[in-house]
């Protein structure tokens, strides 16, 4: 049966990419007169592989911009302002992958057998399309989508129009609902006609063919993005959360069920993280996150109550815990050193005499194999549920349920981060590992104790811990910071709400870019709010 499907789906793979999104497409732009045949499986695997963050994205978007915008870190100097380099990479990665997704969809549509054989494969592709697209539209706002990535179909799609973020959101949420409803997670699934379903398990480097995990991921994503649009479309957001919660739909849950890109399991090395920190060099622990981890500013660390402090950060060259000012002023002290350079593999204590403030933990940004890139954590799902119950979105408001989900979320987060340390053999100077019950004892600290907080402040506790759990997901923290007023902040009010469109789009898709900018009040600017913001 599989051979039959492969024969039908196997078509020449000659992508003609839209010229409005053509940078970096050399690998895919094959000579159309050469015989090139690519199976569905490798194409699907290429889509999964595209979830890994790009080097310039990490350097210019995450390190130079988003860590500062979200106050998860502090910039010692604004030395790398050319964010467009990172934007170009995000844009190119997305539209290259979107063209592959469209090609796979076309092959599915052309299959001569029963479409019921393809339901699991279609669902997996829809979920990946949602992951990719939500990320890009949340960074930029309106983007070309419905006709984008279709240049191989017709030249009329070569320069696609921009689509509204609202329309994109509603479409993708419906696609995720379809995935939940249609995934067959039984062992050896078959169609009603007893034909085996097309199986992509051998090319599935995310869940390795576990369709229940795909279903859990789809529903968890539905919660995330329903909440994101809850201020603009509260009724529709409530319908989604009610469908999931009242319908007892499966969600990410339990230890080890976080969704990550794992270098050691997927056969790649994450060399980009250390490169981005080493070459950038300007990130340190800031005042905002320090207040969430320590009761005092004691340089010896005696005020630290949250064990994640030792995972996220480390001491200065002088062995002191010291937060860098969140806002740069003429009086801001200078900061330097080489805390992220590779010499520390053999000379760990040498961070450079000018390293006077706490850097990000060297081992967290150094390890290339065992530390994953995070797509979604179980802790995030707990915090989403906590917010839903606290606000009564689609369900009856239940403060006790909200508090319970919050507690589970904090413990899940601490467990997740500690397990990263446990699984990293390079991490030789870690703190003693804590048990789950010891994690619960940490919750008695006033910064974490939601039960003792006034009711009007408890939602802020939920937001703060979700923000903290997203320490290595600055794009997610950025979305949360823009959507709410409850994330921790000590710096200036956030005024940068989106990324500007890449320069390549202004040059290669000029007409549609001009139309889009006109719809934005004539300004492709960072202070223009995305659709779902208040």
Per-residue model confidence as pLDDT tens digits over 165-175: 999 999 999 99
The mean per-residue pLDDT over the stretch 178-197 comes to 96
Q: Using CA atoms, how far apart are residues 244 and 236, in angstroms rounded to an integer? A: 13
pLDDT of 5: 39
**CA gyration radius, the chain:** 23
What is the predicted pLDDT for the residue at 229? 98
Residue 125: φ, ψ to 5°: -70, -40
Give 112's pLDDT tier (boundaries 50, 70, 90): confident
Q: Rounded to an integer, what distance in angstroms lies between the CA atom of residue 334 and that of residue 248?
A: 54
* Three-state secondary structure readout of 203-221: HCCCCCCCHHHHHHHHHHH
Taken in order 389, 395, 397, 400, is the CA torsion positive or negative? negative
Mean pLDDT of all residues in 49-56: 98
Q: Is the pLDDT of residue 311 over 50?
A: yes
C-alpha–C-alpha distance, residues 284 and 356, integer Å: 10
As a whole number of angstroms, the distance between CA 49 and CA 233 comes to 33
What per-residue confidence (pLDDT) applies to 153? 86
What pLDDT does residue 1 have? 40
Question: What are 243-293's pLDDT values in tens digits?
Answer: 999 999 999 999 999 999 999 999 999 999 999 999 999 999 999 999 999
The residues pairing with 37 across neighbouring beta strands, listed in sequence order, are 12
What pLDDT score was predicted for residue 155? Answer: 86
pLDDT of residue 395: 98
Helix (H) or strand (E) holding 106: helix 84-110
Once rounded to an integer, what is the mean pLDDT over residues 336-360? 98
Is residue 87 within 8 Å of 499, Cβ to Cβ?
yes
Lowest mean pLDDT among 9-18, 88-97, 408-417, 441-450: 9-18
Cα–Cα distance, 484 to 387 (Å, whole number)? 11
Residues 146, 30: Cα–Cα separation, whole Å: 24
Sign of CA dihedral 413, 493, 390, 387: negative
Q: Which two tokens stand for residue 397?
A: 């408001």
Tell me the per-residue pLDDT of 202-224, one tens digit each, with 9 for 90 and over: 999 999 999 999 999 999 999 99
CA distance 357 to 343: 19
Residue 21: the pLDDT is 38
- Work out the pLDDT band at 469, boundaries 50, 70, 90: very high
Looking up tokens 């829809």 gives 126
Indicate the SS3 state at residue 34. Answer: coil
What mean pLDDT value characterizes the chain? Answer: 92
CB count in 10 Å sphere of residue 495: 8
CB 512 within 8 A of CB 20: yes
Spatial separation of the C-alpha atoms in residues 47 and 224, rounded to whole Å: 22
Residue 38, strand partner residues: 11
What is the DSSP secondary-structure string of 309-353?
A: HHHHB---TTS---PBPSS--TTPPP----TTSGGGGT-TT---T
DSSP classification of residue 190 = B
State the pLDDT at residue 335. 98
- What are the tokens at 204? 């599935």
pLDDT band at 491 (very low <50, low <70, confident <90, very high): confident
Report the distance separating Cα 401 and Cα 293, nearest Å.
Answer: 25
Helix 84-110 / helix 2-9 crossing angle, nearest 10 deg = 120
Q: Is it the case that residue 486 has pLDDT exceeding 90?
A: no
* pLDDT > 70 fraction of the chain, expressed in percent and rounded: 93
461 contacts 467 by C-beta, under 8 angstroms: no
Percentage of the chain exceeding pLDDT 90 = 90
When pLDDT is averaged across residues 121-143 and rounded to a whole number, the result is 98
9 pLDDT higher than 60: no
- Tell which CATH classification among 3.90.1150.10, 1.25.40.10, 1.25.40.390, 3.30.365.10 matches the domain 1-56+85-209+509-534: 1.25.40.390
Cβ within 8 Å of residue 90, ≥6 positions away: 54, 57, 61, 136, 139, 499
Q: How far apart are CA 131 and CA 473, in angstroms?
A: 14
Confidence at 60, pLDDT banded by 50, 70, 90: very high
Distance CA 89, CA 502 (A): 9
How much is the pLDDT for 513? 98
What six digits make up the tokens of 466? 């979700």
pLDDT at 152: 84
Q: What is the pLDDT of residue 20?
A: 40
Is the pLDDT at 321 greater than 50, yes or no? yes
Do residues 364 and 339 touch, judged by C-beta distance below 8 A?
A: no
Alpha helices (runs of H) in 183-270, residue ranges in sequence order: 211-228, 234-246, 263-266
pLDDT at 154: 84
Whether 14 shows a pLDDT value over 70: the answer reads no
Q: What integer pLDDT is reported at residue 420 of this predicted model?
A: 97
Q: Tell me: pLDDT of 36 over 90.
A: no
Model confidence at 502: pLDDT above 50: yes
Of 372, 378, 382, nearest to 257 by C-alpha is 378
Tokens of 126: 């829809």
Of the pLDDT bands very low, low, confident and very high (cuts 50, 70, 90), residue 160 is very high
The ranges assigned to domains in the chain are 1-56+85-209+509-534, 263-369
| Cβ-based neighbour number of residue 520 at 10 Å | 17
């Amino acid at each position: 049966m599989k051979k039959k499907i492969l024969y039908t789906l196997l078509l020449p793979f000659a992508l003609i990419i839209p010229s409005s999104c053509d940078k970096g497409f050399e690998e895919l732009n094959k000579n159309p007169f050469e015989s090139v045949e690519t199976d569905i499986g490798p194409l699907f695997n290429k889509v999964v592989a595209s979830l890994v963050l790009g080097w310039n994205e990490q350097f210019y978007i995450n390190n130079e911009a988003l860590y500062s915008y979200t106050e998860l870190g502090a910039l010692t100097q604004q030395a790398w302002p050319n964010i467009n380099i990172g934007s170009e990479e995000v844009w190119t990665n997305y539209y290259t992958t979107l063209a592959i997704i469209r090609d796979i969809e076309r092959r599915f549509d052309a299959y001569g057998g029963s479409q019921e054989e393809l339901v699991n494969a279609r669902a997996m592709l829809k979920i990946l399309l949602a992951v990719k697209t939500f990320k890009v539209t949340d960074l930029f706002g309106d983007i070309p989508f419905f006709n984008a990535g279709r240049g191989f179909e017709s030249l009329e799609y070569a320069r696609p129009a921009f689509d509204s973020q609202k329309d994109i959101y509603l479409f993708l949420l419906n696609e995720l609902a379809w995935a939940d409803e249609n995934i067959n997670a039984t062992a050896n699934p078959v169609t009603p006609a007893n034909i085996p379903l097309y199986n992509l398990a051998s090319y599935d480097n995310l869940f390795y063919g576990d369709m229940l995990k795909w279903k859990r991921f789809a529903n968890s994503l539905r919660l995330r993005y329903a909440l994101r649009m809850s201020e603009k479309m509260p009724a529709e957001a409530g319908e989604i959360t009610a469908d999931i919660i009242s319908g007892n739909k499966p969600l990410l849950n339990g230890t080890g069920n976080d969704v990550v890109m794992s270098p050691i399991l997927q056969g790649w090395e994450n060399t980009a993280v250390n490169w981005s920190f080493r070459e950038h060099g300007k990130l340190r622990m800031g005042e905002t996150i320090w207040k969430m981890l320590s009761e005092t500013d004691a340089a010896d660390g005696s005020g630290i109550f949250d064990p994640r402090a030792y995972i996220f950060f480390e001491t200065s060259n002088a062995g002191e815990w010291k937060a860098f000012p969140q806002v740069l002023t003429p009086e801001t002290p200078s900061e330097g050193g080489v805390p992220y350079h590779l010499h520390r593999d053999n000379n760990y204590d040498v961070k450079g005499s000018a390293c006077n403030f706490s850097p990000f933990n060297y081992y967290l940004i150094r390890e290339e194999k065992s530390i994953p890139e995070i797509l979604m954590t179980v802790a995030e799902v707990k915090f989403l549920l906590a917010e839903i119950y606290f606000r009564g979105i689609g369900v009856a408001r239940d403060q006790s349920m909200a508090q319970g989900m919050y507690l589970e979320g904090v413990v899940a987060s601490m467990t997740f981060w500690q397990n990263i340390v446990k699984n990293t053999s390079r991490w030789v100077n870690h703190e003693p590992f804590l048990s789950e019950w010891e994690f619960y004892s940490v919750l008695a600290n006033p910064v974490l104790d939601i039960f003792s907080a006034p009711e009007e402040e408890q939602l802020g506790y939920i937001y703060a811990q979700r923000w903290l759990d997203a320490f290595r997901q600055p794009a997610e923290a950025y979305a949360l910071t823009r959507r709410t007023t409850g994330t921790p902040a000590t710096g200036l009010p956030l005024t940068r709400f989106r990324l500007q469109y890449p320069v390549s789009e202004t040059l290669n898709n000029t007409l549609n870019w001009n139309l889009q900018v006109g719809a934005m009040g004539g300004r492709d600017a960072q202070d223009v709010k995305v659709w779902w913001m208040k």
